[in-house]
Structure 1
Amino acid sequence: MNPRTPVRGGRRPVRLASAAAAALVAGLLAGNGSAAGEGGTPAALAYDCGLPSGSVRATVEVAARLPASAEVGKPVQPGPVQVTVGLARADVAALLPKDTAAVLSTASLAVEVSQNDQKATAMWSQLAAPSTPVPAEGEVRLVHSGAVPTVTVGGAGDVTLTAGELRLGLLTATPAAGQEAAPETVPLVCEPVAGQDLRLGTVPVPGDGSTAPSATPGSPGPSEPGEDTGRRKGGGVTVQPRSDPAPVGKCPTVVPQGKADPSDAPVAPPGATPGEFDLPGSPGCAYAIGVANISKLNGAMVINDPKRRPVTISVLAVTHSSVRSSVQPGGLYLRLDSLADLKLPDAESTFLTFGFEPVTAKVRFETGPVTISTGNVGTSIFSVISFKQSLRLYDVKVNGTPLDVGDSCRTATPYKVVLNGGAKYTNVFYGGTLDGTIDIPKFSGCGTNGEDLDPLFTASISGPGNSIEMNQGTTCIPDSPDNLCPPDVPELPGTTAAKQ
């Protein structure tokens, strides 16, 4: 996102509600490397946030784990990142509706990444703070956290990260009783106060003694200072949400239809009833890669194989929110629901049926509407993806010999798939990993010319305890300023990179 791009008024409630699911844990995780700021402490900065009637002063602390050093051509992943914004209670009260007892907030920080004479802008977007009580006096401290882009450089020399423009969105977490429309987000555009040291940290990149980074062959030349190179090669500096270079396509034009079914997500504990808000949603697309294990066959098949040309799923991000503030009876409850249309390519796998007979089959997935729910109950984080699905088998070969199973060899009834990710799944925009187990129903319609093969497939495949693990990449939202387009192709679950 270009730091100067105006906030689009029509997207405000959706963008804040979407980002709120990302920030459910306060504080930094332990890790190697040094935190941002001199001496390993967070960088303490001052910002002026503009309003039509003037400006308000904000104190900002930025902390991000940075590695002690980096290598040429290998991605550097800052994080986890925490951006803590302090605003005077009176300023917050003047911006939000009367009697607001708690506030949700989202933050996007423009970070200049420089090495020698090369520069690029990394947008630390979708950082969000959970429901924060508004104190009777003093300062409201909004603790934002979330995933941020990687940085890759093409040569030796120190890589310096410098803070730039900060954008905030404030939203009351205590909607008025009977309020049907989603609360309006109050946007703030904040500029750093002049005369400060805005450096967030430096990562040395050792080399052969050369101080000039080497540009990637065929890439554009050096960028102009302050130019947002995004995912393009800017001389020797590349910024990406993730580093997978797999080919990607455009977002599907079909927008998921229907209504989210969050019945598999955690419900609010007893107390005040959460406020329910329908939202227009943000259409986009993402890649979801998975592995399904067939318990009886002691084998696995790859879903949407990243080594072939995977397909994207259609997403309508954040169509509904359910919010109850932490100060209400029963405590904090936040749930954000999204819809997806999961049209997966056919999979092909070979198993040893009954332990000795190699059977190869193609599998077609027939999947119903997908609901993605993320949020938290108190300090407990949850993420749930659920849908109904059927399997159809075709092109079956036994020890290389074709076995005609007909055109209707499938599970007799659809089965329910419920995948849980907890904190491993950031939100619908940044994705993550989820897993679960399914019960595969018996098969029907298998066989031709009077031959009934249903018992064969039921005996060898059907049953409980079949595990599924999925990894969703970033979601491309074409009409959003920081749209994460094109979407990244994530790692196959179970690999080292996917577990990091």
Structure 2
Amino acid sequence: MRRVTVERRRAARLASAAAVVLLTGLLAGPGAASEDEVDAAGTADYDCRFAGGELRAEAVIEARFPAAAEAGSPIRPQAVSVGITLDPEEVTALFPENPGHLTGTAALSVEVAHGSETATARWQDLGAGAEVRPGQPLVLAHTGPVPSVTVGSAGEARFTAGRLTLALTATGPDRAEAPPTRTLDCAAAPGEDTRLATVRVTGPGGPTDPATGSEAPGTGPTGRPEDGDGIDVDPVRPAAGAESCPPELPTGEIDFSEALPPPDYAPPPVPGRAPAHGCAYALGYASVRKLNGAMVINDPERQPAVTNVIVSLQTQSVTRPDNYSRIDSLASLDLPDAESTFLTFGFQPVTAKVSFENGPLSISTGSYRPAGGTRTDFAVIAFRQSLRLHDVKVNGTPLDVGPDCRTKEPFKVVLRGKAPEYANVLTGGRLRGDIAIPEFSGCGTGGEDLDPLFTAAISGPGNHVEFAQEKTCTPTTTAWCPPAVPPLPATDPER
């Protein structure tokens, strides 16, 4: 097999590792560990095999562990990130077609040892997305929830990174064909230290009895837990779906201007024959091109918001001589705040919360086949959105940006899906788009104008968005009720 060989100087290695650490701050959220927590972060080279050859990837693995845990209580890693750095030559070896964007999913086997017992926790379905810039390293910071681990007696629980599987998918809103995916099977390079953390476990069967200072019951002469205490790995539990859809109906006018236009002679839209009130979960990533990073929108680890939708509110169709049909639905989505850390101008760490103010969501799906021509399917979601920044900190110091630091004007978000990825609003699927973030205004207090700072750091075109919508729960689709929370879009490349 052909092997991709890339020379790395130590300075470049440290720089790329730092880039991953900073990018994971954007994705996984800000904040340092408390006295009861330990931040684990390490860099290791992984040798990876793929269908066309081999390459070496640099991995930065980060997680926040409790410093101590009681026996029988779950040890739950937080702020997990598996950051991967690929040199330009490696990206070209994987995708000679030079894709504009890549999304990735990572699965990392983490070995857990407690006394003489071991178990494996699979940190899987970790998603990432990034823009591919010619001649520059690609940094993908995969994040997501991971299983908790419970041990049955006192001692030490040791976590070590093992094999790594990566699935990288070339994406972008303008792809005319199904996006290609490359799967990499990776193992740590010889001599690499992949230890992550050691958690002290206290409680019954501890190494010593605090009252007497002698060995506690349940330990052997070495002070280690006796065999048979067990290590339990509890799989990730998805965020709970809503028990029922919101009672109120979404309101507003449908904007079908982004749908494939009908023939000039087509009759105007008419009310749908059987509109249905339903709801579905939709979540994903939004990149900030200037910061070369992305943040999770409607985070499934937190309490995600449900999309409230009226399915088939109006339709438009014609059958001769051309065949055109379109179904328009109307929805609303009140997104929760996103909390992110980013580097202003590449060096100044800034933490902020982002509020999203969305207008009505117009969802149009359908097909158009000219007489004697080829059928074209389309799916598009369009809405207007404003961003507001608040709770801003610079190097940990609060920065008063005022109550109305926001984009100067609402901007249009257009997300498109392609069959069979997205057929209709009932079955859902994946959507993609690029947005332009306007300038900021109203930032600063006491005569201080911070508008230019945020405009220079964030505003501009080419910010990529990937969204996954799960099936819609309605009175006629009760099998899909309550609505399920989908995986982040990068975690399911087949969809």
So what's the TM-score if we normalise by structure 1? 0.49
So what's the TM-score if we normalise by structure 2? 0.49
